[in-house]
């Protein structure tokens, strides 16, 4: 896994475009780091192996941090420019982030346009048709939505946009509550 991380990190830093990574890349990285930590706890800290493992963990953490930050900046720039990214280039987690970034980028563009036209800054984030924003009141395992997309798992206080049919069921069961999304609401 170290070599795979190193190659992904190097490619991401060396190129301006978003690089393709496997959809489960982040979960495998987390598992790899967890295994390193477990192995480290089992070793005598004074041994050479323990010191080498500690250096490896520090390198892995640094590369993961730089990789995620670089990919995030690229995702934000793509969303601002309204550029599409092939979904097979993104991890499962990044797909969710990117989906949430697009309406926000559009909202900021509308805000700028309104102000430049001399209009009062009234702005709300438009939801995709058939989607409802929920705040989770209890932990909920991953579910398959009516659109056949996978959503979750969710922890208490997570906020997510789900198909309205699934949202109604979750609200009715007391697992979540509907959230009104409005960045800046002013009366004209």
Q: List pLDDT tens digits, range 114-130.
A: 788 777 666 554 445 57
Classify residue 114: in a domain, yes or no: no
pTM above 0.75, yes or no: no
∠ CA 24-27-32, nearest 5°, is 120
How far is residue 29's CA from residue 45's CA, in Å, rounded to a whole number?
A: 24
The answer on 136 and 67 residing in a single domain is: no
The answer on 73 and 6 residing in a single domain is: yes
Domain range spanning residue 32?
2-93
Classify residue 113: in a domain, yes or no: no
pLDDT value of position 187: 38
Enumerate the H helices of 15-152 as residue ranges.
25-42, 48-80, 92-116
Classify residue 145: in a domain, yes or no: yes
CATH assignment at residue 36: 1.20.58.1030
Distance of CA 120 to the CA centre of its chain: 32
The answer on 148 and 85 residing in a single domain is: no
Nearest-CA neighbor of 75 among 95, 46, 92, 56? Answer: 95
| pLDDT 10s digits, 23-47 | 888 888 888 888 888 888 778 888 8
The answer on 82 and 130 residing in a single domain is: no
The answer on 128 and 83 residing in a single domain is: no
Classify residue 109: in a domain, yes or no: no
Distance of CA 118 to the CA centre of its chain: 35
The enclosing H or E element of 170 equals: helix 164-172
Q: Strands 159-163 and 131-136: what pairing?
A: antiparallel
Boundary (domain end) residue, out of 54, 74, 93: 93
The answer on 69 and 140 residing in a single domain is: no
The answer on 182 and 133 residing in a single domain is: yes
Classify residue 66: in a domain, yes or no: yes
The answer on 67 and 132 residing in a single domain is: no
Classify residue 78: in a domain, yes or no: yes
Q: Looking at per-residue confidence, does 152 or 101 come out higher? A: 152
Q: Tally the residues of the chain.
A: 188
* Domains contained in the chain, number: 2
The enclosing H or E element of 136 equals: strand 131-136
Distance of CA 70 to the CA centre of its chain: 13
């Amino acid at each position: 896994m170290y070599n795979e991380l190193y190659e992904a990190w190097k490619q991401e830093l060396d190129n301006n475009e978003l690089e393709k990574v496997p959809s489960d890349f982040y979960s495998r990285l987390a598992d790899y780091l967890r295994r390193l930590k477990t192995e480290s706890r089992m070793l005598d800290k004074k041994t050479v192996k323990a010191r080498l493992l500690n250096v490896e963990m520090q390198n892995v953490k640094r590369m993961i941090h730089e990789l995620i930050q670089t990919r995030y900046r690229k995702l934000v720039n793509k969303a601002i420019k309204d550029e599409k990214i092939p979904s097979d280039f993104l991890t499962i987690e990044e797909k969710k982030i990117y989906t949430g970034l697009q309406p926000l980028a559009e909202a900021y563009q509308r805000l700028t346009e309104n102000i430049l036209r001399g209009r009062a800054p009234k702005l709300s984030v438009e939801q995709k048709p058939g989607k409802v924003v929920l705040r989770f009141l209890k932990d909920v395992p991953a579910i398959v939505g009516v659109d056949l997309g996978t959503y979750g798992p969710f922890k208490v206080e997570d906020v997510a946009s789900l198909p309205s049919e699934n949202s109604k069921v979750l609200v009715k069961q007391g697992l979540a509550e509907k959230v009104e999304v409005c960045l800046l609401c002013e009366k004209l």
